[in-house]
Amino acid sequence: MRIYTWNVNGLRSILKKGLMEFINDEDPDILCLQETKLQEEQIDDEIKNLKGYYKYFSFANKKGYSGVAIFTKVEPKNIYHGIGIEEFDTEGRILIAEYEDFILFNIYFPNGKMSDERLDYKLRFYDAIMDYSKKLLEEGKNLIICGDYNTAHREIDLKNPKQNEKSSGFLPIEREYIDRFLEIGFIDAYRHFYPDKIEYTWWSYMFKAREKNVGWRIDYFFVSNNFISKIKDVEILTHIQGSDHCPVKLTI
């Protein structure tokens, strides 16, 4: 089984930049998208008519903002739109699909750059996801949390770590939260296979950052310790264009 995560920076936009070709070429079993930026009535007919997939969406109350989606060939046993906490669920950042062998979280974690208030919101969001997932881990569930975490974990995960030590996305407090995810029972699946490899998943649209490969690795698959043995590989598909992020592929 092949699961993909991709922040598309607008689903309607990515449709014009090769999303259907990507789906046809890669043929994902499960495709998790973040930052869809649409409401239910704005879903394109191309998506509605996409054959072979069950399609699920979580929408933000605010129009043109946030949003996540899951396209899956295998029908989940259950789908959860959020974690039952209104201040987080109203931004449409969370979809949880329960399958026979694992539970898949598709999450668009908040960005903390706008203000101190948003940074606080981001950190409380991290706490809420950890609390929610920790209960499932204690029940012995196999978990995969994929998506845009909006934080680079280590210096190896961004081009210019020193210049960004005081920038949200690489603040010590944010990096500590990633440490805490690992401490409660998760493994960064990409680093499990490639501890020293330098690849990025996001590049600014400014200063020809992608052309120069001045990027950040902020899109992850975190896999619970009890399930990592089932993972065959994780690949960062840097050649796929269309968004300021590229897709990441996990093979079970």
Q: Which residues pair with 112 in a beta bridge?
A: none
Residue 77, φ and ψ in degrees, nearest 5: -70, -35
How far is it, in rounded angstroms, from Cα 103 to Cα 69? 15
DSSP H helices in 49-203: 86-89, 116-138, 172-184, 189-193
User: Which residue is catalytic, options 101, 116, 131, 148?
Assistant: 148
Residues 6+ apart with CB under 8 A from 51: none
How far is it, in rounded angstroms, from Cα 115 to Cα 129? 21
Annotation marks residue 148 as catalytic: yes
Which of these, 111, 219, 208, lies nearest to 167 by C-alpha position? Answer: 111
How far is it, in rounded angstroms, from Cα 105 to Cα 98? 9
How far is it, in rounded angstroms, from Cα 25 to Cα 97? 24
Which position has the token pair 């704005």?
Answer: 42
- Catalytically active residues are 148
